[in-house]
Structure 1
Amino acid sequence: MNRRIGWSLAALALLLLGGLSLFLYLKARPYQETVDHGPSPAAQANPYLAAEMFLRERGLAVNHAETLAVLPQIDPHSHTLLLFGERARMTPREVDQVLNWTRAGGRLVFVAESLWDAQTGQSNDLLLDKVQLHQSLSKDLKDPPRDVEKDRFPKLTKLYLEDEDAPAYAGFDTDFHLDDPNNVAQAWANSAKATHMMQRVYGLGTITVVTDAELWKTGAIGKYDNAWLLWYLSADTDVTLIYNTSHDGLWTLLWRYFPQAIVALLALIALWLWQAGVRHGPVQIPAPVGRRQLLEHLRASADFLLRHNGQQALLQALQQDILRRARRRHPGFDQLNVAEQWLALSRLTRQPTRAISQALSPRPKQRLSSAEFSRQVAHLQTLRNAL
């Protein structure tokens, strides 16, 4: 009977499992799902990674660097240098180095970083001032804007080329405007309100100044003709992209990568300063304003000498005073050896020689207890008073 029940339960389980499998087979439908894990570490570290990949797909050799230290190794002929990084710490020597490289035949493309100050006659961008171009805010333009009613894309920058019916469109930031007060530029590109790209011949090379390079970062290079414009500026050359011409300081890097350690260190320093500033022992009650007794002055002087000079200095002062009085009482005392001096002091003070030797012998350097120190001082004073 039990075996029959077991077989029945097994058959029932198999029947249920088969039914469930059939139900899942009839109802389940395969589907695909795309999970966006965000930018890769390489894309996060290099905002112009997509631009580099696009130029490589067009057959250009592309390298990137973080500083201008690589410039002496770059042949200016058939080479484009893209300065898209922060240049606030760029030195005059580096500016001259870049311009000399361009004058020798290189192509230079950089971002104008500072606004022109008419009062000082310069901007904070040394490289832009050397090129003799100025940057200002589009809203500050004095000339009235052009007729934009017929412009279908007033916020896009148009670049007109020869033998082309339609312009190329680029997504520059329209808040900034480039000005050419000395008429050194040979080509430019404008939006409806302002100029955002200028190009001039410089020696054997060319210099292209743009108001921003955000249109060539990974998130925007696929829009409009942004990618094509970057290729146009560097076509038929090798490319070196410098997107960080200055390095963060040590404290900035430490705070970026080790904030917990810095906070812990600051907390330890604060605790140490707090502990060092705490008083040891109870706060002493201020003494009354009235005049102190002579005994209080003597006790205070003795405490001061004991704290600053130590026990050995006080004991040695008493010993020297005893020997000085002994010289006055016993002529030729200095010519006696130590044992004979102790015998002479024993006769003068009527103290046993053993007590005198204990009082005048050099003391060990370790600190005496208060009782032992008081006993030693009392003994020396007894000898001194007997002289």
Structure 2
Amino acid sequence: MSPRWRYSLIGLVALLLCGVAAAVFLHNYERGSEDITLPAYGEPTYNPLFALRETIRRDGGKAESRRQLDLPSMRLHPGDTVLMLDDPRLLTPTQVDDLLEWVQFGGHLLLRAPDTDEALDGDTNNLLQRLGVVTHDALARCQKWQVPGQESHQEFCTGHRFALDGSTRVERRWGDGNDDQTVAWARLRYGAGRVDVLGEMDFLLNGENDGDTGLRDLPHRDLARLVLAPNYGKGTVHLIYAMEMPSLWKTVIKRGWPIWLPLLLALLAWLWARSQRFGALLPSPREERRSLLEHVRASGELLHRYGKAPLLYDAVRQSFLARLRRRAPVAAALSGDAQAHAIAEHLQWPISRVQTALQVPPSRDDTALRERIRLLIQMRNQL
């Protein structure tokens, strides 16, 4: 079979296999779509009233979100609405007076009932005391909420309950039972304005993925419009979602751990590397117990003891010749008797004395060794 037909056959088989694989895939699978709710990011992660603000804006109203209550910058008007999530007992006396003065001329204030606290409830100038609202530790009971065309809902199943002392006129109330001693929601008249106190505000918050639908549920949106009804569409709705700022250290520890934890580990590693170690990890270096001169003398004695005296003489002779090459290069270039005569003439020494110094002494003749080394040192020093 020619290469052309062989390659054509291989290509045909590969195309057939691809067709079979595609047919099997299309037979076993079909295209479908699925809606997946992605987790929130950005402002909805820290602003629980983000969905309410966007809903009001889409309805054509004006809404602003704020972390703290700032009355001078808010510039409230009689047709505005203020909704606060945090404990209203944390307001300063000046803020309480300004809010009540604004409500008295047509403002609408929404508050969430807090839990009982003797330290905070004892303040006669707090906002709840001025409105005749008394905190109560009764257990919350679900309230039925029915919207035409929708399934029945249960609202105010959590949160706190409160009571009214009768000092403020009640326009609307939603009690817990027949006796109505505890209230889940009340709308109070204060001058020309209104104050709504709610046992909980979960239906006004952003919807979560764990079953808390928030404003995603139609009955919750209907109840939100009922709560915001007095000034809805008239002025600006100010949503205060975090009056009490969290502690800086608490925020750093809770949310900043991806940064401070590696830095802390790096700091501990650096401290460990720089700290003093107990116990030697490496052996201490041996200290030198002798001077250099002692080592040289000991080496010479060892060579002399083992009959290596010519090595000692040769070392001194090489030292002399090295200086001779620097000081009298002409004499150093010679050899034999000519070199001896040149050295003697240069040093003004007898020729016999120079020849004696340049002769290698016998191995066991200590006297001759010392004499020749002495002469070489003298000659070296005189160059």
Question: TM-score, normalised to structure 2's length?
Answer: 0.56
Kindly indicate whether the alpha-carbon contact (under 8 Å) linking 1:115 and 1:136 is maintained by their aligned counterparts in 2. Answer: yes
The structural deviation recorded for 1:120 is 9.3
CA contact (8 A) 1:114 1:124 kept: no
Aligned match of 1:155: 142
Contact 2:115 2:160 in 1 (8 A): no
> Once the 2 structures are TM-superposed, how far is the Cα of residue 266 of structure 1 from its aligned partner?
9.3
Query: How far apart are the structure 2 equivalents of 1:262 and 1:87?
Result: 35
**169 and 98 in structure 1: CA distance in 2 versus 1, 3 angstrom threshold:** farther
Which residue is equivalent to 1:103? 104
- Aligned match of 1:199 in 156, 162, 187? 187
1:74 to 1:170, Cα distance in 2 relative to 1, 3 A: farther
**Alignment match, 1:181:** 165
One-letter identity of the residue aligned with 2:165: P
Alignment partner, residue 74 of structure 1:
75
Q: Is the 8 A contact 1:170 1:224 kept in 2?
A: no
How far off is 1:156 after superposition? Answer: 0.8
**Does structure 1 residue 229 correspond to structure 2 residue 197?**
no
Counterpart amino acid of residue 173 in structure 2: W
> Structure 1 residue 15: deviation in Å?
2.8
Q: Give the equivalent residue in structure 2 for 1:244.
A: 242
The amino acid across from 1:52 in the alignment is R
Residues 158 and 191 in structure 1, CA contact (< 8 A), matched pair in contact too: no
**1:68–1:245 Cα contact (<8 Å) kept:** yes
SS at structure 1 position matched to 2:194: strand
1:138 matched to 2:138? The reply is yes
Q: Distance in 2 between matches of 1:39 and 1:250?
A: 24
The answer to whether residue 121 in structure 2 is matched with residue 127 in structure 1 is no
Question: Residues of 1 paired with 2:49 and 2:134: CA distance?
Answer: 26
Q: Which residue of 1 aligns with 2:175?
A: 190
Is 1:216 aligned to 2:204, yes or no?
Answer: yes
Deviation at 1:89, TM superposition (A): 4.3
SS at match of 1:230: helix
Q: Residue 115 of structure 2 contacts residue 135 of structure 2 at CA under 8 Å; is this kept in 1?
A: yes
- Residues 236 and 120 of structure 1: is their aligned pair in 2 closer, same or farther, counting only changes over 3 Å? closer
Task: Give 1:177 shift.
Answer: 2.5
Q: CA deviation at 1:236?
A: 3.2
Contact 1:169 1:224 in 2 (8 A): no
Unpaired stretches in structure 2, ≥5 consecutive residues? 208-213, 279-383
Structure 2 Cα separation of the partners of residues 68 and 77 of structure 1: 17
Q: Residue type matched to 1:202 in 2? A: Y
TM-score by length of 1: 0.55
Residue by residue over 1:275-312, the C-alpha shift from the partner in whole angstroms, topping out at 9 and shown as x without a partner, is 99999xxxxxxxxxxxxxxxxxxxxxxxxxxxxxxxxx
Q: Which amino acid aligns with 1:179?
A: A
Does residue 90 (structure 1) correspond to residue 91 (structure 2)? The answer is yes
Return the alpha-carbon distance in structure 2 between the equivalents of residues 91 and 278 of structure 1: 57
In structure 1, runs of 5+ residues without a counterpart are 141-153, 280-387
Does the 8 Å contact 1:134/1:180 carry over to 2?
A: yes
Cα distance in 1, alignment partners of residues 126 and 79 from structure 2: 25
Instruction: Report deviation, 1:242.
Output: 0.6
Flag the 1:268–1:126 CA change in 2: closer, same or farther, 3 A: farther
Contact 2:158 2:200 in 1 (8 A): no
Deviations 1:145-203 (A, max 9, x none): xxxxxxxxx721669xxxx9xxx976114563321113413221123373111222222
CA distance, structure 2, for counterparts of residue 6 and residue 215 of structure 1:
70
Tell me the distance in 2 between the aligned counterparts of 1:6 and 1:71. 85
Shift of 1:228: 2.1
Q: Distance in 2 between matches of 1:59 and 1:268?
A: 55
Distance 2:270 2:139 in 1: 53
Contact 1:171 1:224 in 2 (8 A): no
Matched pairs, number: 260
Classify the secondary structure of the residue corresponding to 1:138. coil
- The secondary structure found in structure 1 opposite 2:37 is coil
CA distance in 2, matches of 1:25, 1:260: 46
In 1, Cα distance between the equivalents of 2:264 and 2:24? 63
Contact 1:76 1:102 (8 Å CA) reproduced: no
Q: CA RMSD in A?
A: 4.1
SS in 1 for 2:215: coil
Confirm or deny that 1:50 pairs with 2:48: no
**What secondary structure is seen at the aligned counterpart in 1 of 2:45?**
helix
Asked if the contact 2:110–2:195 (Cα under 8 Å) also holds between the matched residues in 1, the reply is: yes
**Gap change, CA 1:204 and 1:170, over 3 Å in 2:** farther
Alignment match, 1:5? 6
Give the letter aligned to residue 176 of structure 2: S
| Partners of 2:87 and 2:113 within 8 A in 1 | no
* Kept in 1: contact 2:68–2:243 (CA 8 A): yes
Q: 1:283: which partner in 2?
A: none
Partners of 1:213 and 1:276 in 2: CA distance: 55
